[in-house]
């Protein structure tokens, strides 16, 4: 399993309404992509320094990630919203497995 994280910083012209519309579009998009095991997107809580918005997607493997990112739905959301909203973007992919987290013993 792979966790794909994307963090965005918005252009100054982005409004709360833009962000709401984007979130709705991403949520709808995700429901139509069978390769997604889990998906969440929304404004950053700003508990620590970081971007304005984040997406977390879990897929089975690299092929699943490509299917998600290259899907017509994802491309449509990018063209309609993200392309004009993004000032900065960063992304990372992390492996997920049952042993990824170990609670401290003692």
* H-type alpha helices, 1-106: 16-31, 62-69, 72-77, 83-85
Q: How many residues does the chain have?
A: 106
Residue 55 pLDDT greater than 70, yes or no: yes
Does any domain span residue 28?
A: yes
pLDDT at 97: 81
Would you give the DSSP letter of residue 70? T
Does any domain span residue 100?
A: no
Domain containing residue 64: 2-95
State pTM to two decimals. 0.88
Average the pLDDT over 89-100 and give the result. Answer: 86
CATH of residue 77's domain is 3.30.70.100
Number of folded domains that form the chain = 1
pLDDT in tens, 8-28: 999 999 999 999 999 999 999
CA distance 43 to 27: 13
- Mean pLDDT across the chain: 94
CA distance 101 to 97: 9
């Amino acid at each position: 399993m792979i966790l794909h994280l994307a963090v965005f910083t918005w252009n100054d012209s982005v409004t709360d309404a833009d962000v709401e519309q984007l979130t709705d579009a991403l949520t709808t998009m995700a429901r139509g992509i069978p390769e997604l095991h889990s998906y969440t997107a929304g404004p950053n809580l700003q508990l620590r320094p970081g971007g304005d918005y984040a997406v977390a997607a879990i897929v089975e493997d690299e092929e699943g990630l490509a299917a998600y990112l290259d899907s017509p739905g994802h491309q449509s959301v990018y063209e309609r919203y993200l392309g004009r909203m993004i000032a900065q973007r960063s992304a990372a992919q992390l492996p997920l497995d049952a042993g990824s987290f170990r609670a401290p013993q003692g």
